Amino acid sequence: MKRLLMVAYHFPPLAGSSGIQRTLRFVQHLPSFGWQPLVLTAQERAYERTSSDLLQDIPEGTVVRRAFALDAARHLSIAGRYIGATARPDRWVSWKFDGVRQGMKMIREFSPQAIWSTYPFATAHLIAGELARRSGLPWVADFRDPMAQEGYPAEHITRQQFLRIEADVVRRASLSLFTTPGAAEEYRRRYPEAAHKIGVLENGYDEETFAQATELAAEGPLNPGCFTLLHSGIVYPSERDPTHLMQALRQLHERGEIQPGKLKVRFRAAVAEELLHRLAQEHSVADYVEVLPAVSYREALAEMLRADALLIMQASNCNQQIPAKLYEYLRSGRPILALTDQVGDTANTLRRAGIDAIADLDNATFIATLFQKLFHQGFDAQVGAQADAVSAASRRQRTFELTDHLRRLSAEAA
């Protein structure tokens, strides 16, 4: 069996990031395609929040090495302030030094055929790049989303460092992968000399975990007698701004299209809880809004299965990104309502799956019109995703796509 050294900050028991699922499910499925995963991650002290619920999903016998790492904001600050250089390119840059040391030890011990690293955070690529330089192994750089973007990072020095890192990674990596067609195309424009080694490997859902979640979903609807529209995951004030959604709810209420007790918009694990409560109060729609804390991953999937419909929010400044939850939404079979730019990757992915309930996130009138149309038609008329789109988005299928890339790179390196 061939071996793959995987450099990933996001790995159990880290809690609060959907990014864990990408690495964890690759780790689960790689052996069935002839690859043994070797995981190089950070010590638990580096994680702001931890949870043991996903530790059971790490296959028994998986090699996991945890390198020394500190969070500059928590471990290197005095009176809440820390030196900027200790947090560039990210707050966990201290992970690099022991990460390279332990990574080289793993290379000598296990003789992997390739290295894979995943962003965020940029430090993972710094570690993998150094390991690839020292070992000469093929390196797959999994960007997921673009690194340097317009206005991000906001701090000038960090943004310049991001630009230097991404340019170096794209130039030196054997293959750079992105989770959306738009992101991959953007990087082909940025780095035309490396366009031939830039590809797409989308996110997905885990069928085995959904099967377990189905048992938890047997309780029935979330709010019996009250239509519940669920948004599962983080609400970002800019990238997933709920302001116009709240305005649309107010318009519908004032026109008598909706009534308290008949509709709930539930936000699960939104993080921006104060923002949601404030906006709901400002627009007098608090009776229509539920804001609930995080639950375990399986419970979150079960909640999707129990919801009357599912809500996606993605602003136009993220047109080259797709929320990872979208693929789990597709698998759930529930109706999906998307508040996103009509020309972005999120909208295009939904339309390819046969879902067209889409309105711009920043237009309250369009949102209200879409709600009104669906309420009149009945949300049940909104069928779930097409079967072929669902099957193509499984984590097992994504792992097969990854191993196909690895097979090609291994052959070229031989």
**pTM of this structure:** 0.91
Could you tell me whether strands 35-42 and 2-7 are parallel, antiparallel, or unpaired per DSSP bridges? parallel
Q: Provide the residue type at 354 as one letter.
A: G
**pLDDT tens digit at each of 414 positions of the chain:** 999 999 999 999 998 777 899 999 999 999 999 999 999 999 999 999 999 989 999 999 999 999 999 998 899 888 778 888 888 999 999 999 999 999 999 999 999 999 999 998 999 999 999 999 999 999 999 998 899 888 889 899 999 999 999 999 999 999 999 999 999 999 999 999 999 999 999 999 999 999 889 888 888 889 999 999 999 999 999 999 999 999 999 999 999 999 999 999 999 999 999 999 999 999 999 999 999 999 999 999 999 999 999 999 999 999 999 999 999 999 999 999 999 999 999 999 999 999 999 999 999 999 999 998 888 777 655 556 788 989 999 999 999 999 999 999 988 876
Contacts of 223 (CB under 8 A, 6+ apart): 264
Q: From CA 211, how far away is CA 394, in angstroms rounded? A: 13
How far lies 312's CA from each of 31, 109, 139, 225, 242, in Å? 33, 45, 34, 23, 11
- Quote the Cα angle for 297-302-305, to 5°: 135
Place of tokens 């390279």: 100
Helix (H, G, I), strand (E, B) or coil at 267: strand
Q: Do domains 2-204+394-413 and 207-392 have the same CATH topology?
A: yes
Q: From CA 408, how far away is CA 127, in angstroms rounded? A: 23
* Full DSSP string of 49-78: SB-STTGGGSPTT-EEEEE----HHHHS-B
Helix (H, G, I), strand (E, B) or coil at 268: strand
What residues does each domain of the chain span?
Answer: 2-204+394-413, 207-392
Q: CATH says 207-392 is which class?
A: alpha beta
Closest CA to 27 of 18, 38, 14, 16: 38
**Fold observed for domain 2-204+394-413:** Rossmann fold (3.40.50)
Can you give the three-state secondary structure of 324-353, one letter per residue? Answer: CHHHHHHHHCCCEEEEECCCCHHHHHHHHC
The answer to whether the bond into 121 is cis (omega within 30° of 0) is: yes
The alpha helices in 204-288, defined as continuous H runs, are 207-216, 243-254, 273-282
Per residue in 170-181, is it b (16+ CB within 10 Å) or e — as a string? Answer: bebbbbbbbbbe
Q: For 330, what's the count of Cα atoms within 13 Å in the CB-facing half-sphere?
A: 32
